[in-house]
Structure 1
Amino acid sequence: MAAKMSVEQPLWSALTAYRVLTMGYALALYVHAYGEYVHPLGAGAYLAVLAVWTLATVRRVSSAERCTFPFLAADLAVAVTGVLLTPVVDTAERIDAGGPTLPTIWTAGAVLGFAVKGGWRWAAGASALVGVANVVAAGGFAQDTVHNVLLVCIASIAIGYVVEVARDSERTLARALRIEAATRERERLARDIHDSVLQVLAMVQRRGAAIGGEAAELGRLAGEQEAALRTLVSSGVAPEVPGPRAGSAPEVSEAGAVAGEPPSGGTCDVRALLSAYAGTRVSFAEPGAPVPLPAGAARELAAAVGAALDNVRKHARGPAGEEAQAWILLEDEPDAVVVTVRDDGPGIPPGRLEDAEAEGRMGVALSIRGRLRDLGGSAELVSVPGQGTEVELRVPKDDQQDDRRDR
């Protein structure tokens, strides 16, 4: 993300154009009223300096980095000098009649530079200095003089205030984007932990309890570590765990099924990844033609399917207590790739998902819904008690999937 706010650079560009245009305007007024000056050569000398200064400093005013406060002070000095020089080279009649000063409205550009650079307080100070110079040049508080001074003062303070608000908003936005990026990374790490470390610890705990003896003690320790890791995951503090990323390396289930790994770039046929999940209790139906997706999106979709099947294996049981039967249906729609995972288990009781998430069991929240959200897709879960559970995973076909994964 760019460090400078988006509204600032256009303001500097506008100020640069304003200075050049108002310099031309001051020169045109001088040429038009040349014969009315008491000392036309003196006025011409100042305007020549003004023109050279304006053109020579075009690049200095084009960005905040180049337009420093010392430069702005010198710029304001040029403007104030021209205002105070006006009664020396012009007639008292023209000044009393409200005639323009030598730099005319070019002076406002010097004040606006302070507004854009430093905010409304600097703008107020610069406009006050210009106002004093105009009052001295006019010899008093003439109506036209007061009107012009107030106009410059109010405009510069308003612009300075808007700039300060925009800067604050930009900082707030940058902070929010950093928090969002950190949250996404924590969720990714939490998914990796859920799909790898927690699965292994749960398996060790179950096997240790079944074997008994020293293995039971090992299983108990594995259970304690699983509970501690689930607490870290649910609190949003997920540590980096050594080992391969889930979804980027082959996934190994307790039954030994291995999901293949697509290439790191380009596209991948989703059928090749999902077919690895097929087994005695998992049926896979696929289209007859390849179903391509960007490799990163394909890996994440396959990992989400694996997480759904893990839930079936661990939580769904048939009428005789055996593992429930699961079906995977892959569909290639015009605008999306849709995978449906259905089982014939007892279904999920109402409120169970919310309770599991509160306990740190993030299989659905992170490993399934979190992955699909990062892909710009959706994960819909429908469960009817006694009639099984169905999870529909939808990944849009667009070129932004890999970009979403990188953010």
Structure 2
Amino acid sequence: MARGGPVPGLEGPLWRALAVFRIAALGYAAVLMVNNFREYHWPPGGWVIIGVMAAWTVVSTLAYAQPERRGWPLLTADLAVTAACLLASRWIVNPEGLGVGAPTLPMAWVASPVVAWAISGGRRRGAIAAILMSGADAVVRDGFSQATANGPVLMLLAGVGVGHIARLAIDAEARLQRAVELEAATRERERLARGIHDSVLQVLALVQRRGAELGGEAAELGRLAGEQEATLRALVTSSAPPAAAVAGAAPSRASRMGDGGPDGGPDGGPDDGRVDLRGLLDGHAAAGVTIAAPATPVLLPAAVAAEMAAAVGAAVDNVRHHAGPGAKAWLLLEELPDGVTVSIRDNGAGIPAGRLAEAERAGRLGVAQSIRGRIRDLGGTVTVTSVPGSGTEVELHVPR
């Protein structure tokens, strides 16, 4: 198990649980000492060992709380101090009693280094520590017997069991981290794909159409533009790359909107500035496009309003390019108690069933990314209603 890097978040609670166990086991050993020390071969020695155990409990708890100290020097010292306290029982406790199963001075406290080794290195390291401590226990009791085997067996089970749990926790943390990085990379890829669709892909498609119309050298230019468009579409719609491959790309949406932008506002605007969505939608007003909006400002965080307006722009572009000649569009902006809704309705040719899924598979991202992707990242919903020959209505809703 690799060590030396940042300790996974799920490993920290295991070390804290070890500290609690060590303190509780020390208390139990002290209670037994109070009850039994008069029967010891050398009673004062028992109090000395309890003092050593208490001091080491404090030192080890503070040391294990610092991830950089959880290495071999501390693990070895922990095992050595605990073994020494256990071996001291041979000269302090009544030797005859130890041979028939009488409690040693440390009692359950001897399992502390076994658990520490298991957390730090998994099942194998925990088993090794348990075997070493069991050897010390055998020396104290002059060998194993049915009466004295319980302690070593329980230590071995604890070392293997805790080591297995620790390894599962660390592996789960690693898998979760990889999943989070992959999701962030996928979201960033989708954001870049939207920008490419809104600019580069549409320009290449326009060059291809115009070149074919003009003919001659322009037709060759249009053909090349068409090839580049197909290649770029395949690139932005292919499987998401590993997170490391895009780690150096543009800042993710989370950093731009959720964690504060360069201007200080959590939405990337100056001081969390809010803008009137009506003004951004006015930019889409043109021949054949009618906009209806409330008389009062519809205020949204600057970044949210910009993404909303971009999604509306993509929907209007779809009307212009796909609804058919002479198609008209109507934009309706509504401010509702739970959010803001923009409806884009046209009287064009409509969308055949399955056409949107087919377009997404072909790398045409107008609806999939430029519209749905943007609104999804804002926590909103997109509803597309279309009947061939009767027009299309796209409803965008973003919650407050």
Please give the TM-score of this superposition, normalised by the length of structure 2: 0.86
1:170-205 CA-to-partner distances (Å, cap 9, x unmatched) read 111111111111111111111111001112222233
Q: Which residue of 1 aligns with 2:10?
A: 7
CA contact (8 A) 1:187 1:366 kept: yes
Instruction: Give the letter aligned to residue 327 of structure 2.
Output: A
Q: 1:26 is matched with which residue: 14, 26, 29?
A: 29
Structure 2 residue 101 is matched with structure 1 residue 98: yes
Instruction: Give 3-state SS (helix, strand or coil) of 2:148's partner.
Output: helix
Tell me the residue number matched to 1:337.
340
Query: Take 1:283 and 1:16, find their aligned partners in 2: how far apart are those partners?
Result: 69
* Structure-2 change in CA distance of 1:107 and 1:263 (3 Å): closer
Q: CA deviation at 1:351?
A: 2.1
Q: Encode CA deviations 1:110-129: one digit per residue, 9 max, x unaligned.
A: 11111111111111111111
| Identical columns (%) | 50
Question: 1:148-183: per-residue Cα shift (whole Å, max 9, x none)?
Answer: 222222123111101111111111111111111111
Report the equivalent of 1:79: 82
Change (3 A) 1:302 1:4: farther
- What do residues 299-353 of structure 1 show as CA deviations (whole Å, max 9, x unaligned)? 1111111111111101112xxxx33100111111111211111100010112222
Query: Which residue in the other structure is 2:263 paired with?
Result: none
Structure 1 CA distance for aligned equivalents of residues 157 and 44 of structure 2: 34
Paired position in structure 2 for 1:202? 205
Match of 1:152 among 152, 155, 166: 155
In the TM superposition, 1:29-178 aligns within 5 A as 29-178=32-181
SS of the aligned residue for 1:338 comes to strand
For residues 196 and 384 of structure 2, the distance between their equivalents in structure 1, rounded to whole angstroms, comes to 22
1:302-341 equivalence runs, <5 A? 302-317=309-324, 322-341=325-344
* Residue in structure 1 matching 2:291, options 276, 280, 284: 284
| 1:34-93 deviation per Cα after TM superposition (whole angstroms, max 9, x unaligned) | 322212233333332222222233211224432222211111111112222212122134
Contact 1:82-1:101 at 8 Å conserved across structures: no
> 1:13 and 1:193 mapped to 2: Cα distance?
49
Structure 1 stretch displaced more, 208-217 or 219-228: 208-217
Distance in structure 1 (CA, Å) of the matches to 2:234 and 2:346: 29
Which blocks of at least 5 consecutive residues in structure 2 are unaligned? 250-267
Structure 2: how far apart are the matches of 1:356 and 1:18?
60
CA distance in structure 2 between the partners assigned to 1:121 and 1:301 by the alignment = 56
Q: Contact between 2:275 and 2:305, CA under 8 Å: does it hold in 1?
A: yes
SS state at 1:135 partner: helix
1:342 is paired with a residue whose SS is strand
Moved more, 165-174 or 206-215: 206-215
Q: Which residue of 1 aligns with 2:260?
A: none
Give the Cα–Cα distance (whole angstroms) in 1 for the partners of residues 355 and 302 of structure 2. 33
Q: How does 1:171-250 map to 2 (within 5 A)?
A: 171-236=174-239
Query: Structure 1 residue 207: deviation in Å?
Result: 3.2
Checking the alignment, whether the CA contact within 8 Å between 2:64 and 2:70 is kept in structure 1 is yes
Instruction: Describe how 1:294-309 pairs up with structure 2 within 5 A.
Output: 294-309=301-316
Asked whether the 8 Å contact 2:205–2:225 carries over to 1, the reply is yes
SS in 1 for 2:343: strand
Tell me, what secondary structure is at the counterpart of 2:17?
helix
Q: CA deviation at 1:3?
A: 5.0
State the distance in 1 between where 2:240 and 2:119 align.
41
After superposition, the Cα gap between the structure-2 partners of 1:338 and 1:13, relative to the gap in structure 1 and judged at 3 Å, is same
> 1:59·1:66 contact (CA, 8 Å) conserved in 2?
no
Secondary structure of 1:182's match?
helix
2:398 matched to which residue of 1? Answer: 395
Which moved further from structure 2: 91-100 or 130-139? 91-100
Partner SS, residue 382 of structure 2: strand
One-letter identity of the residue aligned with 2:291? F
TM-score normalised by the chain length of structure 1: 0.85
Q: CA deviation at 1:96?
A: 3.9
How much has 1:142 moved relative to structure 2?
3.5
Worse overlay, 72-81 or 301-310: 72-81
Pairing 1:372–2:375 present: yes
The 3 A distance-change label for structure 1 pair 41 and 171 is same
SS in 1 for 2:340: strand
CA distance in 2, matches of 1:26, 1:231: 69
- Do 1:12 and 1:64's aligned partners in 2 also have CA atoms closer than 8 Å? no
CA distance in 2, matches of 1:207, 1:79: 84
Count of residue pairs brought into register by the alignment? 373
